[in-house]
Amino acid sequence: MGIEQKLGNMGVVTTSLETVVNWSRTRAMWPMLFGLACCAIEMMAAQASDYDMSRFGMELMRASPRQSDLMIVAGRLSRKMGPVLRRLYDQMPEPKWVISMGDCASCGGVFNNYAIYQGADEVVPVDVYVAGCPPRPEALIHGVLTLYEKVNGEKFKDLAEKYKTA
């Protein structure tokens, strides 16, 4: 669906600023490469030809946190890696979102022991959890679309609250 349907005869579209801002944020969200373990392979498969994620705006995965808006934590997070994850999250510029992909990143998964964080939300605040071990590429795409719905519902006054305390 494009803009042409809404243009009508005058070549002018009227909408609210929030809708435009949220629309532009969802149409070209660049994920940061944070594949840790098995879920990273399914993330790569979702990026490859059969289940193409570039249809949804995620054309490439940037390795640099300064140039990305979305971090997909794919894989199990070990105690040694936790501080590294937090540091990279802090280096990403606002606005930023986090998808926790897979069971190990959401809740610790199969591994309930001394070496794995029981969920990446002990380290970074998470927006969408995608379940599966590993989740199918279609499940990851569903998670991304859920995130888009969440972003489309964001209002300016909530963001103002969030940034006031920072």
Partner 1 sequence: MAHLVEEVNVGQFKHLVSERALTGETMLLNMGPQHPSTHGVLRLLLELDGETIVNCIPDIGYLHTGVEKNMEAKSYQKAEVMSDRLDYMNPMGNNLAYVMAVEKLIDLDVPPRAQALRVILCELQRISSHMVWLGAFGLDLAAMSMFLYCFRERERILDIFELVSGQRMMTTYFRPGGLWRDVPAEFEKTVRDFIKIFPRRIDEYEKLLSKNPILIDRLVGIGYLSKEVALQYGVTGPTLRASGVDWDLRKARPYMGYEQYDFNIPTRPEGDTYARYIVRIDELRESLKIIEQALNKLPSGPWRSQNRKFVPPPRSEIGVSMEALIHHFKLWSEGFSAPKASIYSAVESPRGELGLYLEGDGGPKPYRVHLRTPSFDNLAVLPEIVKGHLVADVVAILASIDIVLGDIDR
Partner 2 sequence: MDKRLEPIVQAAQKRYGATYEEFRDEVHLFVSPERIADALALLRHEYDFELLSALTATDYFPQQTPRFHVIYQLTSLAQNLSVQVRVPVNGDNPQVPTATRVYAVANWREREVFDMFGIVFDGHPDPRRILMPEDTEGHPLRKDFPLGYEEPQFTFNFEEIDLRKPYAKE
Q: Point out which residues bind partner 1 (CB under 8 A).
A: 33-38, 40-42, 44-45, 48-50, 61, 63, 75-76, 78-84, 86-88, 110-116, 122-123, 133-134, 136
Q: Which one of partner 1, partner 2, none is in contact with 71 (Cβ closer than 5 to 8 A by kind)?
A: none
Q: Give, in order, the Cα–Cα distances in Å from 71 to each of 32, 125, 136.
A: 5, 11, 18
d(CA 58, CA 45): 13
Read off the tokens for 162.
């969030």
Burial class (CB in 10 A: 0-12, 13-18, 19+), 82: middle
Is 133 or 145 the residue whose CB approaches partner 1 more closely? 133
Residue-level length of the chain: 166
Is 56 or 78 the residue whose CB approaches partner 2 more closely? 78
d(CA 116, CA 65): 24
Would you say the C-alpha torsion 155, 130, 99, 162 has a positive or negative sign?
positive
Could you give the count of Cα atoms lying within 13 Å of 106 in the half-sphere of its Cβ?
17
Report in angstroms how near the CB of residue 152 gets to partner 2 at its nearest.
Answer: 21
| Chain contacts with partner 2 (rule: CB under 8 A) | 79-80, 86, 107-108, 112-115, 118-119, 121-125, 162, 166
Is 61 or 104 the residue whose CB approaches partner 2 more closely? 104
Cis? peptide before 95, omega within 30° of 0? yes
Report in angstroms how near the CB of residue 108 gets to partner 2 at its nearest.
Answer: 7
Q: Which one of partner 1, partner 2, none is in contact with 108 (Cβ closer than 5 to 8 A by kind)?
A: partner 2
Report in angstroms how near the CB of residue 128 gets to partner 1 at its nearest.
Answer: 21
Report in angstroms how near the CB of residue 126 gets to partner 2 at its nearest.
Answer: 8
Is 42 or 127 the residue whose CB approaches partner 2 more closely? 127
